[in-house]
Amino acid sequence: MYLNAWLAWSPEIVLTLAWAGMLVCGALWPRTHPYMRHATLAALLIALGLAGLVAANAHSLYGLYFSEAAKLDSVTTFGRLLFGSAGVLVVLASWDVHGEENAVEFFGLFVLSLLGEVVIVSGQNLLMLFLGIELLALPTYALIAIHKTRARAIAAGLKYFLLGMFASVVMLYGMALLYGSLGTISYVHALFPDPSHLSAARLGVLQFAFFFLILGLGFKVTAFPFHFWSPDVYAGGSTQVVAYISTVPKVAIMLAIFRILGPAFSTGYPIAKWFLIAIAVLSMVYGNIVALMQDDVRRMLAYSGVANTGYMLIAIIAGGADSQAALLFFLVVYTFGNLGAFFVVLGMGEDRHITIGDFDGLARRYPVLALAMGCFLFSLAGTPPLAGFFGKFALFKSAVAHGLPLLALVGLVTTVISVGYYLKIASNMYGDLVQRDLPEGRAIERIPVPLRIALVLAVTATLVTGVLGIPLFLGAL
């Protein structure tokens, strides 16, 4: 039994040992600093291999652990593989960005935040959820401001920290109210019981607690109107760190929300359901419309992230096994598409704002980089035959199947709006192939080889998931 437990959580054990080893080696032997990136990459690859080994022995290793505080199942495995894959890409993108003076801090904090994401997904009670979120969030506050000589990074890190702490306090208050009304914090079976079994007073406190919980979690996933921190943080922080916090933490918390609410939540709590619908609709509408007005590409991607949070919430609201499958597929699509778009921005320059005008003539000057950016943008826009189309199709189909056609319609209309700002960048990249008098953007320095590898892997993942989505689409016709 104990051997099974060690094997079941071996990926996390490897990451923990890697994190501790980097701190010790960095403190005692300064000459090891240049090798921290190698150690991080090796630890992630080993953890990915062990996660696959655990999945291959699911019949004997899946189950509840630590007095039912954590659960190892297919969703946990999905999170492990996606987090590890995204982590490998972020490490490659960061390979030549951070010098020896902060390599230990950067890669050590990064590994620690990855551990927090697994705690979030595998946790089966609200205490584990809170611990996982803080284990994820605290390192990212420091990572945003890792470049201590950049005023924008310091300001972004401070804003992220202060607002993040406020959201955590609000979320913790909601958890306390949930425990007071339900007498439990475990969601192994279902956190929210049948409302007919609750008194009017308990039901009122429960719904009040739900709003506080969603407010705190809404901040973490940049849902409207809790998104207000993201544009400034995305514009001021290190690009590779922003790429990370804009995708992977959002994936982890969305999976946790689905676990907490359960597949039948929306049918038992209509007021809470309409509250989530309002957040989803406003996120999709506001995020896409404001993104149209942006010139700074990182701010545009921040508002795009707000809109994509609304699309993810469609699956949460619909509930059911088909909605969960649609959510999982969309999370994969979003992760690699969003990471890839930020990696292109990173390749165009780390130390300055990247505007849409910087993409002028990119297809003629750097055709491979322009092709990669086009692939990511049109996948995020949901354009066939790229992966984003099949991801959004699966979400909208689940909404219609669960009696939410108007929500699917809003998603479809806002997807059309999103094409506008994605196409704006694409037209700048490829417009000079038709009109030779268009201005050129600023020159790009040599793109490091590890970042090129990360871009190739992200493009490959986007194309492969698109191919995998074709059978899902044909089966629904």
Q: Write the DSSP string, 39-85.
A: HHHHHHHHHHHHHHHHHHTHHHH-EEETTTTEEESHHHHHHHHHHHH
Q: What angle do CA 191, 197, 203 make, to 5 degrees?
A: 70
- pLDDT, average across residues 412-429: 87
Identify the pLDDT of residue 441.
52
Question: Exposed, middle or buried, 132 (CB in 10 Å: 0-12/13-18/19+)?
Answer: buried
Is there a contact between 388 and 422 (Cβ–Cβ < 8 Å)?
no
**pLDDT tens digits for range 256-309:** 988 888 766 767 778 888 889 999 999 999 999 999 988 888 889 999 999 999
Q: Residue 424 corresponds to which amino acid?
A: K
The per-residue pLDDT for 262 is 75
| This prediction's pTM | 0.90
Query: Which residues have C-beta within 8 Å of that of residue 358, sequence separation ≥ 6?
Result: 297, 348, 349, 441, 442
Q: How far is 137 from 216, CA to CA, in rounded Å?
A: 13
Most confident of 136-140, 197-201, 430-434: 136-140
**Residue 106 structure tokens:** 């950067």
The 3-state DSSP class for residue 186 equals: strand
Which residues, in sequence order, are CB contacts of 260 under 8 Å at separation 6+?
A: 126, 129, 187, 191
Cβ atoms 215, 167 nearer than 8 A: yes
In the structure encoding, which two tokens stand for residue 355, read together?
């505007």
| Residue 287 Cα distances to 8, 224, 264, 420, angstroms | 40, 8, 28, 13
- Give yes or no for a cis peptide into 385 (omega within 30° of 0): yes
- Coil, strand, or helix at residue 221? coil
pLDDT of residue 444: 64
What are 336's two structure tokens? 């690699």
Is the bond leading into 405 cis (omega within 30 degrees of zero)?
Answer: no
C-alpha to C-alpha distances, 83 to 110, 120, 144, 156, 357, nearest whole angstrom: 12, 12, 19, 24, 33
The DSSP bridge partners found for residue 72 are 63
Q: What is the pLDDT of residue 437?
A: 52
- The whole-chain average pLDDT of the chain stands at 84
Between these two residues, 91 and 198, which has the higher pLDDT value?
A: 91
Which residue is listed with tokens 């199947």? 401
Q: What mean pLDDT is predicted for residues 451-461?
A: 90
CA distances from 359 to 291, 352, 355, 454 (A): 17, 14, 8, 20
Residues 6+ apart with CB under 8 A from 232: 155, 156, 159
pLDDT at 440 over 70: no
Q: Are 433 and 364 in contact (CB under 8 A)?
A: yes
Share of the chain above pLDDT 70, in %: 91
**Nearest one of 115, 127, 102, 98 to 47, comparing CA atoms:** 115
What integer pLDDT is reported at residue 477 of this predicted model?
A: 45
Angstrom CA distances, 181 to 154, 174, 195, 206, 261, stand at 41, 11, 12, 6, 16
Do 89 and 339 form a contact (C-beta atoms < 8 A)? yes
Span 196-201, mean pLDDT?
A: 77
Q: From CA 86, how far away is CA 81, in angstroms rounded? A: 9
Are the C-beta atoms of 279 and 404 separated by less than 8 Å? no
Cβ distance 214 to 261 under 8 Å?
A: no
